[in-house]
Amino acid sequence: MVLVNTLNGCGWHWLYWQFFVIGGGCRGTDALSRVHFVSRRFIIDLSYSTHFMDFKGSSIPSSMKKLVVTKLIPTPGDGDLLVRNRFVGINASDINYSAVRYDPMGKPPFDAGFEGIGEVVGLGLSASARYTISDTVAYFADGAFAEYTVIPMIKTVPVPAVKPEFLSLLLSGATGETVLVTAAAGGTGPFAVQFAKQAGCHVVGTCSSNEKAGFLKTVGCDRPVNYTSEDLSATLRKEYPQGLDVVYESIGGRIFDMAVNNLANKGRLIVIGFISGYQMASGVPTVKGGTLPMKLLQKSASVRGFFLPHFLSDYKETMGSMMQMFAKGKLVCEVDCGDMAPEGRFVGLESVLRAVDYMYAGKNVGKVVVEVTPPSLDSKL
């Protein structure tokens, strides 16, 4: 009995050979002639096996990791730019937008974020007539809360450098002039204060802390009012008995009612938001609308809204003018990147939610900005 191990191109053969020797006393070739193979059979035949395994399982884990491509980097169209976002801006309107209050027909999933600034890393043929790779741009368009965003060229503005201060001008500085500025130390308030001062106005600004009141003085606010330690309504009646000519209002609710009650004859109230209601189920705080028509009539006063997307035709000219003012030191652009936040600076897209909460807690001084990517990140496009 002989156990033979052979190998062909497909696998090992374990063969069991069985033979009988006929006759005895065999010598030389005569012995071989007397051997007759009676049978041959395979015990294990792997000649048609497609794989080999460690059957004991000693080196095969029960699970593993692998990288899977789930989405391709967006490709810019003919008139588009592909921008690697360096900084994105946080706005009170992000809550209303994500809750589909601006568009009740909207259904998730959809992109979020309104404004960003970064470097051009890809562009379409028509866009190449105006921009080139590595140019820096700021933009106001949907989908900013991303590492890369495809943006129509017509919605972008060239900027000399990637600075969060330029980002603060996009939405926050393009909204108007005022005498009373509510939430004056927030994202848009400091610009309203400065524009009003440049127009020769006496500016009153509301805020929630002495630190913010001190900041407002540095940007020209004549009368900061810390409403946590002062009665705003009493202060307005006592110090401004003739009323307010213009109110730049972004809080809503009782502050809106108070502002209406303190309007001067022919006074104008501009509604740019109502942050006090954004976290409510309806998103809109209650006001005393029943008596509003009579109050406006008695003073020949007016109330109007301001929603930036309706004024995009003036956007580029206004943005260019503000950048010139900033370059000349005539405009202060205060940004808050969360350096004083409990968990530290807002870095990476995962910080967007924390930045929104930080803003709604009223902790920010100036425009809240998230740094999406570091400046030294190498592109792998």
pLDDT surpassing 50 at residue 42: no
Please provide the average confidence, as pLDDT, over all residues in the chain. 83
* Chain segment 287-300, per-residue pLDDT in tens: 898 899 999 999 99
The CATH 3.90.180.10 portion of the chain extends over 60-168+334-380
Cα–Cα dist 204/180, whole Å: 5
**Cis peptide upstream of residue 309 (ω within 30 degrees of 0):** no
**Which of 366, 375, 313 minimizes the C-alpha distance to 340?**
366
CB neighbourhood size of 222 (10 A): 15
Q: How far is CA 308 from the centre of its chain?
A: 19
Mean pLDDT score, 92-113? 84
Mean pLDDT score, 309-323? 86
At position 81, the amino acid (one-letter code) is L
Contacts of 192 (CB under 8 A, 6+ apart): 175, 176, 177, 178, 181, 184, 248
Mean pLDDT score, 83-98? 89
Of 78-82, 102-106, 123-127, 196-200, the poorest mean pLDDT is in 102-106
pLDDT surpassing 90 at residue 306: yes
* Chain segment 257-282, per-residue pLDDT in tens: 999 999 999 999 999 998 888 777 77
The CATH 3.40.50.720 portion of the chain extends over 178-309
pLDDT of residue 73: 67
Instruction: Report angle CA 55, 59, 63 to the nearest 5 degrees.
Output: 100
**Which of 176, 175, 179 minimizes the C-alpha distance to 266?**
179
Architecture of domain 60-168+334-380: Alpha-Beta Complex (3.90)
Read off the tokens for 215. 């900041």
pLDDT surpassing 60 at residue 39: no
Architecture of domain 178-309: 3-Layer(aba) Sandwich (3.40)
Q: What is the pTM of this model?
A: 0.68
pLDDT surpassing 70 at residue 32: no
Cα–Cα dist 14/5, whole Å: 5
